[in-house]
A and B are shown apart, each in its own frame.
Chain A
């Protein structure tokens, strides 16, 4: 490969986070669901896929079941929070993230709790095992391209326009004869499905997961990507993922002690977010205002 092993690692993470960010944008930016439970779907997908693959299930089946299982939780979350919107929905979905984190930590018989799950197998498809990171990069790029293409088609379709209409004015949409609950649960299930897929890709790449990989700090990172890229912009989420994941890596060239590197990285995220909110309130390519 023409890129270094380290750059390969960064690109793999970028493609995983692109799926995660675009899927959050589908719910948050396009449909107007202030969903802070996305990191929980990511975790559910990762654990489901890891546990099924360890039990011997073929990778593709484990990945798809992981996505479907996450989308079932998406449906349950929309059903439970149907009457909530805005800040109240945000708080309820954030609570969902905490509950799932707590379950991952405490259901030790299934998840091994804080000890995490080691030895997650690398994907094997039709007898071909994705062994090296270079091969994984090609694999994750392929899954990312398919996922983003499907989500792009959805938001550009007449169904996608209904999602945007729901975000702008749900009452007006209902008096036009559209079932807004049906739209919301479909959008959330699609969003959760792809978050589950990205969780699966992450788990089988790192080969070890524990609950801290799916905690609130991860949610803040994904939200930052979506806000910086702009609501209701797939292009924005892709560009912002590359910027937010790649730019902090430049810090490594500064030869900072590891105890300083972490906080400086967090400060850099904050600085990018504040700069965007002040200079471009709609994000880089955003179509709608943050409310």
Chain B
């Protein structure tokens, strides 16, 4: 187990976004979180990566309680993530994005003043080839198409030293060819021993890719299991379609 979330609660005003959510993520597996819009998936991602402070609950990463850590401290420990809406540095080039992601010494001012741009050219090349982003490294983030921005976002998350990769809707808004390409990239990463946690609405993508699924609704986990178990779970059908008598018992 690489990540464990226990009894996480988070409210915004009177709205309970996360309502006692608990789950664990297995090491070297691909774990998916699915659920209808507004079920709290992205909020949970933000809580895990410390961008939002939970009202209560504990989070353990690699066996250590990280509940009180700051976002950048957890990231330094090895959590790497992407966002649903792609977040790039619009005035930096592809190379500069990847150099920032890879470097762990660039925050030191004095030792950096007389150093040029750092970065392992070979590693940058490998990451670019892995994600299949065929653009000159001097291209600015602003000059990329949506699909290319998605790939660069993924490349940054991969390039950053990590032990857990968290992807928020990695194939949202991308064409079927790119979606298949991203699926292959994630399979390749998993075959190298990477632990991946992802949120996704594309059911074909999720069911085909992940080892284990957690289904969220109304801020809590209502079902979990292997993809084939989840597909016929009445709780899941209730969450997505509503109206099932058996399903109403889930909430």
Contacts and interface: CB of A to CB of B under 8 A. Distances in A.
Q: Do A and B bind each other?
A: yes
Interface of A: 150, 153-154, 156-159, 161-162, 164-165, 167-169, 171-180, 182-183, 186, 190, 232, 287-288
Contact of B117 (A161, A287, A288): A161
B75 A176 contact: yes
Interface in B110-125: 112-118
A145 to B, nearest CB: 16
For the complex of A and B, 8 pairs with smallest distance between CB atoms: A177-B75, A158-B106, A168-B89, A172-B87, A177-B76, A159-B112, A157-B112, A165-B89
Contact of A150 (B81, B106, B113): B113
Contacts of B89: 164-165, 168-169, 172-173
A68 to B, nearest CB: 15
Contacts of B115: 157-158
Contacts of A179: 70, 72, 107
Contacts of A169: 87-90
Interface in B153-177: 156, 160
B96 A161 contact: yes
Interface size class of B (residues with CB under 8 A): 35 or more
Contact of B156 (A156, A176, A232, A288): A176
A169 B87 CA distance: 7
A276 to B, nearest CB: 19
A111 B144 CA distance: 55
Contacts of B104: 177
Nearest to B101: A176
B107 A172 contact: no
A58 to B, nearest CB: 25
A164 B87 contact: no
B92 interface: yes
B108 A159 contact: yes
Interface of B: 49, 51, 70-72, 75-76, 79-81, 83, 87-92, 96, 99-101, 103-109, 112-118, 156, 160
A180 B73 CA distance: 11
B113 A168 contact: no
Given A176-B75, A178-B72, A162 B91 contact: no
Given A158-B106, A161-B96, A176-B100, A171 B87 contact: yes
Contact of A162 (B76, B106, B116): B106
B91 A154 contact: no
A54 B232 CA distance: 85
B173 to A, nearest CB: 18
B100 A161 contact: yes
A178 B107 contact: yes
Contact of B51 (A173, A175, A178): A175
Nearest to B162: A177
A158 B92 contact: no
A111 B51 CA distance: 46
B72 A158 contact: no
A159 B72 contact: no
A288 B103 CA distance: 24
Contacts of A165: 89, 92, 96, 100
A190 B113 CA distance: 12
A174 B76 CA distance: 9
Contacts of A178: 72, 100, 106-107
Contact of A186 (B72, B109, B114): B109
B109 A159 contact: yes
Contacts of A153: 113-114
Contacts of A175: 49, 51, 71-72, 75, 79-81
A171 B51 contact: yes
18 contacts: A150-B113, A154-B113, A157-B112, A158-B105, A158-B117, A159-B107, A161-B96, A161-B99, A162-B106, A165-B92, A165-B100, A167-B91, A168-B92, A175-B72, A176-B101, A180-B72, A182-B107, A232-B91
A159 B87 CA distance: 20
